[in-house]
Amino acid sequence: MGRKSIAQQFEHLEAAGDKAFIAYIMAGDGGLSNLKDQILQLESAGVSIVELGIPFSDPVADGPAIQEAGKRALAEGVILKDVLTAVAGFKDEVNIPIVVMTYANPVLRLGVKHFATLCKEAAISGVIIPDVPYEESAEFETPLKDADVALIRFVTLTSSKARMEEVLETAEGFVYAVTVNGTTGVRDGFDDSLGAHLEAVRQVSPVPVCAGFGIKTREQAREIGAHCDGVIVGSRIVELMHAGQGEKIAGLIPGRARIGAMRQID
């Protein structure tokens, strides 16, 4: 069957009347030897796309839960190259897209072209680098494009329409729409204007728009997902995985039954 591309996954979801559910996990939290089983568990739960975090010593966009997961992975000696090599070893066993979330420093230390090559060898579909501004992204975007790997763009609550049009003109894969001002982490609620903001991003974006930061419940995922093409859940999933309660992840996913049925048909 082979792993779906990001575009193919969104096409399947749209045909089934579903929204994407993107699950973030920290690579190496619990050891790299468990990574394949963790990703397969997410796929089985009905996750649409896996966002695979790379541990880094200065994670400026990460809240407490993900920072702690990163510390645990770093204590295991996990580095970017080893993560990509591990994924390459089981790439044919995973059918949903995998997107890597890393910071610029590990990529630069590895070498951007080498990073892009390793991503291609691991069948990585996209890369998220939150500390690289749009104006400095060409250094990363060109080698990734040559490797057929999307560089995922960010928009924030403070992005003007003109800024969104500029940033998203060449967007690939999907757009990461940040739902709060600040770092990742579970929250009790969101600004009343969030829905209108997400609708505005969709009007500008040439690719699907997915909302992330702070989403922790099925109800929040459903409510926010009504205004975009999918949601991204990180801290809550990291917490469940660390607690050995991965079976609860399926309960976070709106429309899980239809996604599961779609997978069986494929």
Above 50 in pLDDT, residue 124? yes
* Cα–Cα dist 193/44, whole Å: 34
pLDDT tier, 47 (very low <50, low <70, confident <90, very high otherwise) = very high
Greater pLDDT, 46 or 61: 46
Give the C-alpha distances (Å, rounded to integers) separating 252 from 47, 174, 219, 248: 10, 21, 8, 7
Domain edges within the chain: 6-265
Above 80 in pLDDT, residue 1? no
Above 70 in pLDDT, residue 203? yes
From the candidates 18, 43, 62, 172, which is the catalytic residue?
Answer: 62
Angle, helix 80-90 to helix 35-45, in steps of 10 degrees: 60
Q: Can 37 be counted among the known catalytic residues? A: no
The pLDDT value recorded for residue 262 is: 35
What's the mean pLDDT when you consider all of the chain?
A: 91
From the candidates 29, 43, 51, 172, which is the catalytic residue?
Answer: 51
Q: What is the pTM of this model?
A: 0.91
Percent of the chain's residues with pLDDT above 90: 83
User: Which range is least confidently modeled, 126-140, 169-183, 236-250?
Assistant: 169-183
Above 60 in pLDDT, residue 165? yes
Give the C-alpha distances (Å, rounded to integers) separating 26 from 2, 107, 242: 24, 16, 10
Q: Can you say how many angstroms the Cα of residue 35 is from the centroid of all Cα atoms in its chain?
A: 16
Percent of the chain's residues with pLDDT above 70: 91
Question: What digits encode the pLDDT tens for the residues 206-216?
Answer: 999 999 998 99
* Cα–Cα dist 244/68, whole Å: 16
Q: Can 62 be counted among the known catalytic residues? A: yes
The pLDDT value recorded for residue 107 is: 98
Domain 6-265: which topology?
A: TIM Barrel (3.20.20)
Strand partners, 125: none
Above 80 in pLDDT, residue 170? yes
The pLDDT value recorded for residue 58 is: 83
Question: What digits encode the pLDDT tens for the residues 145-163?
Answer: 999 999 999 999 998 999 9
Residue owning tokens 């749209």: 14
The pLDDT value recorded for residue 237 is: 96
Question: What digits encode the pLDDT tens for the residues 3-43?
Answer: 889 999 999 999 999 999 999 999 999 999 999 999 999 99
How many Cβ atoms are within 10 Å of 76's Cβ, its own excluded?
17
> Using CA atoms in the order 228, 45, 173, 162, what is the torsion angle rounded to 10 degrees?
30
